[in-house]
């Protein structure tokens, strides 16, 4: 029996989402920018999808831009705000544990003459609110902090951050990619000026995302061509995928509480199962300040490459939670920031769960990890 447990990387498209998308492909194929009836028909689906996304973010529909995914949303928000306000300052703030689609943008801006402060995190993956407060300056124009970390599941103390940001003139961008379907998102309560999400993390298709931009936020839009998305994102809208995104979001939010209860049970079963079978491990991050769908575990008896390979051969599909280049696993920058001078960066895996998983799936993961542990214990005694 194989078990896929890498849902933080991507999720399968939900059947109801596929059904909604297929209806568009078959019957509503007009260009939403065309003024004839077929075009107006397609436009109706884009507009309705925008209203659905806005509803679940507590935003206005005209504050939502559809993009190709989280990478484009993050790039658009960070570059767009930074470049539009460099006349009043060139100081930016982010954290050391952001997704690479955020970190690499800040590294690029540093080469363009911007100064970036990278906030530290503790062993739970939480930023120091006081360091954020002390880092804000008069020339700080943008702060970007992710809500849920994609490797360890840490949830930042958003209301403490919002309180600090409310006393600053800096713009606030949030990567909320891993939060959708797990936490309630309210852009007004969070005090954000921009927020990124992508459909394939919550049962939607790959290649489509959304960006919330608060009304009145001045920014440069870097993609030129047509006047789509109210002149903010040139290019013909991908109607079917946009509909897929809104349908997936609707499903995720409708079932969020029920799914969270199930995920909490799966997470508990995984941890208790490993403990009962005497497999040595430690949790990376916090059991409290985290979502239930991401579990990052340190196994001191084996390196991550070997563990991932053996699990893959046994039909257990998880990840290291870090990027891979040319087939070699790069040590996690998230764990490196959380645990200074620790073997955790090279001996940890991410197991990410989904509501479709069962207790039997979790038992299978535990059994296979125990087999690997016993084999290594036997070989080293």
Which positions are catalytic? 324
Q: Cα(240)–Cα(26) distance, rounded to whole angstroms?
A: 10
Helix axes 304-313 and 359-379, enclosed angle (nearest 10): 120
Q: Cα(29)–Cα(31) distance, rounded to whole angstroms?
A: 7
> Of 309, 319, 310, nearest to 353 (Cα)?
319
Residue 337: Cβ within 10 Å count: 20
DSSP annotation string for 25-68: HHH--S-TT--SHHHHHHHHHHHHHHHHHHHHHT--GGGEEEES
Question: In the Cβ-directed half-sphere of 196, how many Cα atoms lie within 13 Å?
Answer: 28
Q: Cα(312)–Cα(315) distance, rounded to whole angstroms?
A: 5
* Tokens encoding 327: 């087939």
User: Looking up tokens 């509480």, which residue turns up?
Assistant: 257
* 16 touches 8 (CB < 8 A): no
Cβ neighbors of 55 (< 8 A, separation 6 or more) are none
Phi, psi of 244 (to 5 degrees): -60, -40
């Amino acid at each position: 029996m194989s078990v896929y447990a890498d849902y933080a990387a991507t999720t399968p498209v939900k059947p109801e989402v596929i059904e909604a998308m297929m209806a568009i492909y078959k019957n509503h194929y007009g260009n939403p920018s065309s003024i004839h009836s077929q075009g107006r028909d397609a436009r109706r689906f884009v507009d309705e999808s925008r209203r659905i996304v806005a509803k679940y973010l507590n935003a206005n529909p005209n504050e939502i831009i559809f993009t190709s995914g989280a990478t484009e949303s993050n790039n658009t928000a960070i570059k767009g705000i930074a470049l539009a306000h460099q006349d009043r300052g060139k100081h930016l703030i982010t954290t050391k544990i952001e997704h690479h689609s955020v970190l690499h943008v800040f590294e690029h801006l540093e080469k363009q003459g911007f100064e970036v402060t990278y906030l530290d995190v503790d062993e739970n993956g939480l930023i120091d609110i006081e360091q954020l407060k002390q880092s804000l300056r008069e020339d700080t124009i943008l702060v970007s902090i992710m809500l849920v970390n994609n490797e360890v599941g840490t949830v930042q103390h958003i209301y403490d951050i919002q309180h600090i940001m409310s006393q600053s003139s800096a713009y606030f961008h949030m990567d909320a990619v891993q939060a959708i379907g797990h936490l309630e998102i309210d852009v007004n309560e969070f005090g954000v000026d921009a927020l990124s999400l992508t459909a394939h993390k919550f049962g939607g298709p790959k290649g489509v995302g959304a960006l919330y931009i608060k009304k009145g936020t001045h920014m440069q839009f870097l993609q030129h061509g047509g006047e789509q998305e109210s002149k903010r994102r040139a290019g013909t809208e991908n109607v079917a995928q946009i509909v897929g995104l809104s349908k997936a979001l609707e499903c995720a939010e409708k079932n969020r509480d029920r799914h969270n209860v199930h995920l909490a049970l799966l997470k508990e079963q995984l941890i208790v199962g490993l403990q009962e079978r005497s497999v040595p491990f430690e949790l990376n991050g916090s059991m409290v300040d985290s979502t239930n769908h991401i579990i990052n575990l340190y196994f001191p008896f084996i390196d991550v490459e070997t563990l991932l390979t053996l699990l893959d051969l046994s039909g257990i599909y998880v990840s290291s939670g870090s990027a891979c280049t040319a087939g070699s696993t790069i040590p996690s920058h998230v764990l490196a920031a959380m645990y200074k001078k620790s073997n955790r960066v090279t001996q940890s895996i991410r197991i990410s769960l989904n509501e479709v998983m069962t207790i039997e799936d979790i038992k299978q993961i535990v059994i296979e990890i125990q087999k690997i542990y016993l084999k290594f214990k036997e070989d080293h005694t």
